[in-house]
Amino acid sequence: GAGVSQTPSNKVTEKGKYVELRCDPISGHTALYWYRQSLGQGPEFLIYFQGTGAADDSGLPNDRFFAVRPEGSVSTLKIQRTERGDSAVYLCASSLGVGEGYEQYFGPGTRLTVT
Amino acid sequence: RKEVEQDPGPFNVPEGATVAFNCTYSNSASQSFFWYRQDCRKEPKLLMSVYSSGNEDGRFTAQLNRASQYISLLIRDSKLSDSATYLCVHGWDKLIFGTGTRLQVFP
């Protein structure tokens, strides 16, 4: 079956611009997670949704970052006034539920480069 | 101190070798632990969960020592295809990842 998909696969933008990154979770998965991974580091948690609501957004670095999941399926991560330090691979994951025993399946990521 | 610490490697081992990775975690309340595998420029994939009793999946064995807050992964009879980065992870909703340990298996 189809896995988690993310678009675009690559995004190059200029400092100060606004970007949107999209995630399509596995069909039927109620939980959706965003992580970002910088070079040489492990993924770092940003936010996760249970259904339409953000259950934990403690990893969002500042108020330039925002994410939505209006219908409980597709999610969009929005970054305003991008900075060079935002350059990273943004990974999305989904799971059937939340908690022990529910594996998170990752998408291929969006590589964001801020010039 | 990072929540999850790993030796970044790289570990360069010949085919057929046994290799062990270790990981320490700082949050004693952590309940769920995992090893993920990440190939170069690919997404992480779950390799195995880690239980207090220890668990084995083919050539892979994972151990958890709660008293020492320490997790290990043992790979026996290494294959070229085992070359990847191995990420130590804890959490049950938001996952906390270590920086990963790079393994390179050579012929």
Q: Is beta strand A19-24 parallel, antiparallel or unpaired with respect to A5-7?
A: antiparallel
Which of A5, A23, A106, A110 best tests the B interface by mutation, with the highest count of B CBs <10 A? A106
Q: Which residues have CB under 8 Å from B88's CB, separation 6+?
A: B4, B6, B21, B23, B25, B33, B34, B35, B71, B73, B97, B98, B100, B101
Whether the per-residue pLDDT at A99 is higher than 90: the answer is no
**How far apart are the CA of A15 and the nearest CA of chain B, in angstroms?**
24
- B31 in reach of chain A (CB within 8 A): yes
- Which residues in chain A have Cβ-Cβ distances shorter than 8 Å to B94? 33, 45, 48, 56, 58-59
Task: Please tell me the distance from the alpha carbon of residue B4 to that of residue B50, in angstroms, as a whole number.
Answer: 15
pLDDT tens, residue by residue, B83-107: 999 999 998 889 999 999 999 999 9
Answer yes or no: do A99 and B93 touch at CB < 8 A.
yes
Q: How far does B78 lie from chain A, in Å, by closest CA?
A: 23
Question: What per-residue confidence (pLDDT) applies to B53?
Answer: 79
Q: What is the pLDDT of residues B71-88, one digit of tens each?
A: 999 999 999 999 999 999
Nearest to A42 among B31, B43, B87 (CB): B87
Per-residue model confidence as pLDDT tens digits over A10-59: 999 999 999 999 999 999 999 999 999 999 999 999 999 999 999 999 99
Residue type, A36: R
- Distance from the B49 Cα atom to the nearest Cα atom in chain A, whole angstroms: 9
Q: Which residues contact B27 (CB under 8 A, 6 or more apart)?
A: B3, B90, B96
Q: How many cross-chain Cβ pairs, A to B, lie less than 8 Å apart?
A: 51
Of A42, A48, A109, the CB nearest to B93: A48
* CB-CB neighbors (< 8 A) of B87 in chain A: 42-43
pLDDT of residue B45 exceeding 90, the answer is yes
Q: Which of B8, B92, B96 sits opposite A45 (nearest CB)?
A: B96
From B43, B92, B97, residue closest to A100, measured CB to CB:
B92
Q: Is B98 on the interface with A (CB under 8 A)?
A: yes
Question: What pLDDT score was predicted for residue A67?
Answer: 98
Model confidence pLDDT, tens digit, residues B5-26? 999 889 999 999 999 999 999 8
- What is residue B31's three-state secondary structure? coil
Helix (H, G, I), strand (E, B) or coil at B11: strand
Residue A1: predicted pLDDT? 60
- Average pLDDT rounded to a whole number, residues A59-65: 96
Q: Which amino acid is at B4?
A: V
